[in-house]
Amino acid sequence: MGNSAPPRCACGASPPGGRHQRTGHAGSAAAAWLRLAQCTLWLLLFSIPGLAIAKEAVPVADDPALEARMHRIAVELRCLVCQNQTVADSPAGLSDDLRREIRELLLSGATDQQVVKYMTDRYGDFILYRPPMKASTAALWVGPGVLLIGALGVLVVVLRRRSRMAPERFEPDAPDDAEAEEAR
């Protein structure tokens, strides 16, 4: 600690004469800010056309009760494009079409069950966000539990084998820097 060594640069080299020297031009900071401002300006200019193409809000039904029924049904249906979202939540164009189709079916007098049946007849059980328990969908319902039980079984077997192993079969821990310093 009493050793007074010259300061070192970040790369570990000692500067000549023990003093740090500034590199670069005096205006390099101003030039960097100017480049940043130019890039920001270009980014803004190129993003303005994207705002002009933005979608408008989908018109809702004149009847709030009909719109609430449509929403209740759309929440139960899976978007076929973005499969982790419901038809009600999805911004995809296909979901817009499906919502419009649900509205039309409801306006024509179909019940909620008839609309869901129409959609499942047309797109299969996959469109249902909560598919029914059938032979064709059993893997969806049972699969996660079977995988979890299998993973827990593998974990138990591995831990039992490791507990029976002699300590010398394990690799020793790497010594810390402080321990290595003390050993010298």
Q: Tell me what pLDDT residue 180 has.
A: 63
Which range has highest mean pLDDT (7-16, 76-85, 118-127)?
118-127
- 132 Cβ partners below 8 Å, 6+ apart? 125
Q: Tell me what pLDDT residue 43 has.
A: 82
Which range has highest mean pLDDT (15-24, 85-94, 104-113, 160-169)?
104-113
Q: What is the pTM of this model?
A: 0.49
Instruction: Quick: pLDDT tens for 143-169.
Output: 899 999 999 999 999 999 988 888 777
Q: Tell me what pLDDT residue 99 has.
A: 92
Reported as a pLDDT band with limits 50, 70 and 90, residue 21 is low
In 3D space, the residue among 124, 112, 82, 78 whose CA is nearest the CA of residue 98 turns out to be 78
Q: Which residue has the higher pLDDT, 62 or 125?
A: 125
- CA 156 to chain CA centroid, nearest Å: 31
- Averaged pLDDT of the chain: 79
Reported as a pLDDT band with limits 50, 70 and 90, residue 45 is confident
Per-residue exposure over 152-170, b if at least 16 CB sit within 10 Å of its own CB, e if not: eeeeeeeeeeeeeeeeeee
Is 18 a residue whose pLDDT tops 60?
no
